[in-house]
Amino acid sequence: MSEPLIPSVTIEVPSSETHSLLRQATDVYLGAQNNNEKLAAVDSLEMQNNMVALRRAGEMCIEISSTESNPDEQRKLFNRARRDWEFALVRQSGKNSTVKTLELEISSLIANSPLYWALLAEKNIPETAILQEVYAHNVTLASIAKSTLESTDGNRDTDRHLVGRIQEANVLLLLQRFGLKLGGQDWLAVPSLFSQDYGHTRPEVPQTSWDISVYTWNKKTVPPELTYKIQVKSNYGSRFKHPERYSDEVKVMYVASDLKLKKKMNITDIGAECMLELQNPRNMQVTHQLDTRTEKLLDILG
């Protein structure tokens, strides 16, 4: 297994000139016939010297591990992914809102990596203590995202990207919280794998890409089964602005309209409620609000 080819220079946010290289590496990966071809795409991303490239390289390594039968090779791939992500976080330059949003995305991948390891390498759902730790970490990231949104630099594209990140986190938090309420080990919600999120987007056919995967496990099936595929949109209006068609197997969630409890929902409400509940589990009002939102979400999943 090749080692990551990370240059020892400052990591930059990608410029418009590098996006074609990112797309090229992604196309190579999605069209690869074997792991060697996929790892070639990883190598090229690691040499591109920006946060998005290293984030994608790490995501690819995680997914490649799912097809490795050798536990040592799987661990190497997971370690490589974490090195890519940590390198991007430690060596990035600048603190504008674009960088902060990328930091949140990469930090979320690191936070959820124990779930990927259990699912892809151990072929199970981790014990409750790990699920609780990951959930608490994701709640903390939601709080950081709230502060980041409040201090954005006014760039509409960046704000839209951050809002999308927060809304995906909202749905993931509710689903992970629900798994914990079930007692763990038969329900697992994780961000989708790289090809699940980036692949299957030909305009002439319904899209089958999605943001969040939910796996269920009756412990008689190995590994856990992919049961729900969830695509997250900020609000119902985006259905008309961006009228993508999705396959029937993908459940589309319009967070602001589907999960609201009153006339208008602040996008940071769910993360704030999760934090309040963690800080005070006896706050029945907050627990009721989260339970109600979860029921709405589960009704859409069917």
Question: Which region, left, alpha or beta, applies to residue 183 given φ > 0 means left and ψ of -120 to 50 means alpha?
Answer: left
Taking alpha carbons only, the member of 244, 250, 257, 245 closest to residue 167 is: 257
Smallest Cα–Cα separation from 41: which of 31, 106, 198? 31
Higher-confidence residue of 71 and 265: namely 71
- Please state which of the ranges 154-163, 213-222, 280-289 shows the lowest mean pLDDT: 154-163
96-130 pLDDT tens trace: 767 888 899 999 999 999 999 999 999 999 999 99
What does the pLDDT look like over 173-190, one tens digit per residue? Answer: 999 999 999 887 799 999
pLDDT higher than threshold 70 for residue 242: no
Neighbours of 212 (CB within 10 A): 23
Q: How large a percentage of the chain has pLDDT more than 70?
A: 84
Q: What's the whole-number mean pLDDT along residues 256-267? A: 87
Q: How confident is the model at residue 14 (pLDDT cuts 50, 70, 90)?
A: low
Cβ contact 190:217 at 8 Å: no
The b-or-e profile of 180-210 (16+ CB within 10 A means b, else e) is eeeebbebbbbbbbbbbbbbbeeeeeebbbb
